[in-house]
Chain A
């Protein structure tokens, strides 16, 4: 059993699928199905790296922020005011700088400001645009599927198995949420889904650039995923499976673009 749980395919695929499925179904009466993504990520992170936070490096900060995000999301749900989105966006940007702090401090001043602004902008953008989908479960689920898989596979090609597994686990969990939504059409989404998803995916992308070999411009197609999921004209009166397929296809094109750009630079993973 222990050996099975050490398998990357189990950690990044089977476990997040199972946890997200259970969470989406069991937490539905509490309107907390959105927690499926955060719980699945937590399970994957625990199996892959354990919850050890000393010394607190950038990858461990991603896990810590991923665990804190659902709590913030529940608080945001309670307030649900107009100022929540700008506040979450700013908090996302600040989280990115905190995550990258150890790396930024070792850079020359110009790089420090450029990279700091870049990671804050990227994660803030992700949080802002994904938050716009918080009351549209199909669009949010499709964006999550593409964002997770795109970030994960790009990170994998960019020479980090850990970041790759984290990203892929997000995509699998969001895809599972979308699947349950297609079947039941009754899943609430909310900040509990969009905040952990956008924050973790954003941070993983940034760490892939700063700490591994992910080219910065591979983040551009990933950044396009939430806006694409928001603006693609798909009628909400159509069948759920059709909406899901169309939205997933549109967003997965962006994800594929990010993976392709990384593959062109880095080639196949060295594992």
Chain B
């Protein structure tokens, strides 16, 4: 009888244990920030930042969490080294003076048990502006290779580069930038 009661108590407590706020560390090889921008009205150019890091906390029961991502501005890559040098320079990302682009969440909105959007502040070129990321996919589970528990997500956002003081070549090179994030974070 005592054993049975203990088992019931243990089973009842399990969901609470699973719902406690979990902490995750961003997995850099599987985390990238991509961007697309209109080029002179002719085409849409794609690029990405190769290096990023960060921390995520998630409490699916309480439907809360935090996201902090730091992107290295010098790691920009568009597939053409000379253009990358230009993008790192004072006309665009000015990476010598502003080596990091950061996003810090202020609120995560859930739909069911999965995050649907993340509101926060994006800091780029020393300017901080509110940005909302729309979560396009969210999956958690044990990684079959590493056997570690992790979560992955996709998210998109739209910003205007002029809001951050990046005004070179406007309006010929587009002002609207579409940001796409792919994130994997391993449970600590």
CB pair B90–A162 under 8 Å, yes or no, is yes
CB pair B94–A211 under 8 Å, yes or no, is yes
- CB-CB under 8 A from A269, the residues of chain B are 86
CB pair A159–B82 under 8 Å, yes or no, is yes
- CB-CB under 8 A from B82, the residues of chain A are 159, 266-267, 270
- CB-CB under 8 A from B97, the residues of chain A are 57-58, 102-103, 106, 211
Please classify how large the interface on chain B is, using the bins under 10, 10 to 19, 20 to 34, 35 or more: 20 to 34
Chain B proximity mask over A162-178: 1 for CB below 8 Å, otherwise 0? 11000000000000000
Q: Which of A47-55, A186-194, A233-241, A246-254 contacts the other chain?
A: A47-55
**A271, B82: Cα distance in complex, Å:** 10
**Cβ-neighbour of B85 out of A59, A163, A270 (below 8 A):** A270
CB pair A55–B94 under 8 Å, yes or no, is no
- CB-CB under 8 A from B86, the residues of chain A are 159-160, 269-271
Q: Shortest beta-carbon distance, A158 to chain B, in Å?
A: 8
- CB-CB under 8 A from B94, the residues of chain A are 57, 59, 211
CB pair A6–B171 under 8 Å, yes or no, is yes
A212 within 8 A of B: yes
**Cβ-neighbour of B165 out of A52, A58, A161, A266 (below 8 A):** A52
Residue of A nearest to B170 (CB): A6
Q: How many contacts between A and B, using CB within 8 angstroms?
A: 64
**A57, B168: Cα distance in complex, Å:** 15
How many chain A residues touch B (CB < 8 A): the figure is 26
B141 within 8 A of A: no
**A36, B185: Cα distance in complex, Å:** 58
B167 within 8 A of A: yes
CB pair B91–A161 under 8 Å, yes or no, is yes
Chain B proximity mask over A189-214: 1 for CB below 8 Å, otherwise 0? 00000000000000000010011110
Residue of A nearest to B99 (CB): A106
Q: Shortest beta-carbon distance, B100 to chain A, in Å?
A: 11
- CB-CB under 8 A from B96, the residues of chain A are 103, 106, 210-211
CB pair A50–B167 under 8 Å, yes or no, is yes
- Residue pairs across A and B with Cβ atoms less than 8 A apart, 6 shown, are A50-B167, A57-B94, A59-B90, A161-B168, A162-B90, A211-B94
Query: Closest 4 interchain pairs by CB?
Result: A55-B126, A212-B89, A270-B82, A159-B86
Could you tell me which A residues sit within 8 Å of B by CB distance? Answer: 6, 49-50, 52, 55, 57-59, 102-103, 106, 159-163, 207, 210-213, 266-267, 269-271
